[in-house]
């Protein structure tokens, strides 16, 4: 199993994601961090042990509600108070937010973040045309495809839905709603990921900062 992962670059991909998000977020011991759509990521434990920050895991697959450092339910409606976190991060997750959940999450991030707080989304999946990617071999019951998006089927992708923005869709669904709230967005272009492994696909990263009070 380890050999397969190495050949495909999965281990290298996660390590690169973690390295870049840690560099951009500059997490401090006093920070409250939410790893959004965390699933069973190693990132929260690593940050807790190496930095000492207070890290929460959030995911739809967890039991609903907040149980210690576990937050269950929709990322666009978290059971936490306003201005709860200093940093929010999504590793390889935002593209799976179906329907209006991507836009809704930007509104929730604004509510949850403290003044000066940071949101990091990576990879930010971009394409020349607005595209919904799907695997016809998995259940797609209930999926509502994005209006105006091209639906592309890819067998053995193992995911029911993935959103690849073009520039117009990104602006309409993410950047403009965020800027209307007050977020200051920055998009980073990663140019040398292939130097680590030829299969790595971290090309764009979206950072959004809530201005300080």
84-120 confidence digits (pLDDT tens)? 999 999 999 999 999 999 999 999 999 999 999 999 9
115-146: pLDDT as tens digits: 999 999 999 999 999 999 999 999 999 999 99
Contact 135, 153 (CB under 8 A): yes
Task: Answer positive or negative: Cα dihedral of 63, 65, 67, 70.
Answer: positive
Average pLDDT over residues 48-54: 97
pLDDT band at 10 (very low <50, low <70, confident <90, very high): confident
- For residues 50 and 211, give the distance between their C-alpha atoms in angstroms, rounded to a whole number: 28
Contact 97, 121 (CB under 8 A): no
- For residues 24 and 124, give the distance between their C-alpha atoms in angstroms, rounded to a whole number: 14
- For residues 91 and 43, give the distance between their C-alpha atoms in angstroms, rounded to a whole number: 9
Q: Are residues 87 and 52 in the same domain?
A: yes
Can you state the angle between helices 43-50 and 10-25, rounded to 10 degrees? 50
Claim: this prediction has a pTM higher than 0.85: yes
- For residues 206 and 210, give the distance between their C-alpha atoms in angstroms, rounded to a whole number: 13
Q: What is the pLDDT of residue 2?
A: 25
Q: Are residues 83 and 188 in the same domain?
A: yes
Q: Are residues 140 and 84 in the same domain?
A: no
Q: Are residues 119 and 52 in the same domain?
A: yes
Q: Are residues 120 and 61 in the same domain?
A: yes
Residue-number span of the structural domain to which 148 is assigned: 131-163
Q: What is the pLDDT of residue 169?
A: 98
Mean pLDDT value across the chain: 95
Q: Are residues 188 and 158 in the same domain?
A: no
Please state whether beta strands 204-209 and 113-122 pair in parallel, antiparallel, or not at all (unpaired). Answer: antiparallel
Q: Are residues 82 and 31 in the same domain?
A: yes
> Which residues share a beta bridge with 97?
none
- H-helix or E-strand spanning residue 78: none
Sequence-distant (6+) residues with CB within 8 A of 176 are none
- SS3 state of residue 54: strand
Domain count, the chain: 2
CATH number at residue 11: 3.40.50.150
Q: Are residues 155 and 183 in the same domain?
A: no
187 phi and psi, to 5 degrees?
-110, 125
Alpha-carbon separation of residue 139 from 29, 82, 93, 95, 134 (angstroms): 42, 36, 18, 17, 10
Q: Are residues 48 and 87 in the same domain?
A: yes
- For residues 140 and 53, give the distance between their C-alpha atoms in angstroms, rounded to a whole number: 38
* Encoded tokens for 44: 């929260």
Contact 78, 176 (CB under 8 A): no
Q: Are residues 62 and 143 in the same domain?
A: no
Contact 38, 57 (CB under 8 A): yes
Q: Are residues 11 and 113 in the same domain?
A: yes
Q: Are residues 47 and 110 in the same domain?
A: yes
pLDDT band at 8 (very low <50, low <70, confident <90, very high): low
Average pLDDT over residues 163-180: 98
């Amino acid at each position: 199993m380890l050999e397969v992962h190495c050949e495909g670059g999965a281990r290298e991909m996660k390590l690169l994601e973690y390295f870049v998000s840690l560099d951009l977020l500059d997490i401090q011991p006093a920070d409250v961090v939410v790893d959004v759509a965390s699933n069973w990521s190693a990132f929260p434990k690593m940050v807790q042990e190496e930095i000492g920050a207070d890290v929460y895991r959030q995911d739809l697959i967890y039991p609903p509600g907040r149980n210690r450092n576990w937050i269950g339910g929709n990322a666009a409606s978290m059971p936490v108070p306003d201005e709860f976190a200093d940093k929010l991060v999504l590793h390889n997750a935002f593209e799976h937010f179906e329907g209006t959940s991507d836009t809704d999450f930007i509104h929730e991030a604004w509510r949850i973040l403290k003044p000066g707080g940071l949101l990091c989304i990576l990879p930010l999946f971009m394409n020349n045309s607005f595209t919904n990617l799907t695997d016809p071999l998995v259940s797609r019951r209930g999926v509502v495809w994005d209006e105006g998006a091209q639906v592309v089927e890819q067998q053995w992708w193992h995911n029911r839905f993935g959103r690849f923005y073009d520039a117009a869709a990104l602006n309409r669904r993410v950047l403009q709603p965020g800027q209307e709230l007050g977020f200051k967005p920055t998009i980073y272009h990663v140019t040398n990921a292939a130097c680590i492994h030829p299969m790595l696909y971290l090309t764009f990263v979206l950072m959004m900062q809530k201005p300080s009070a």
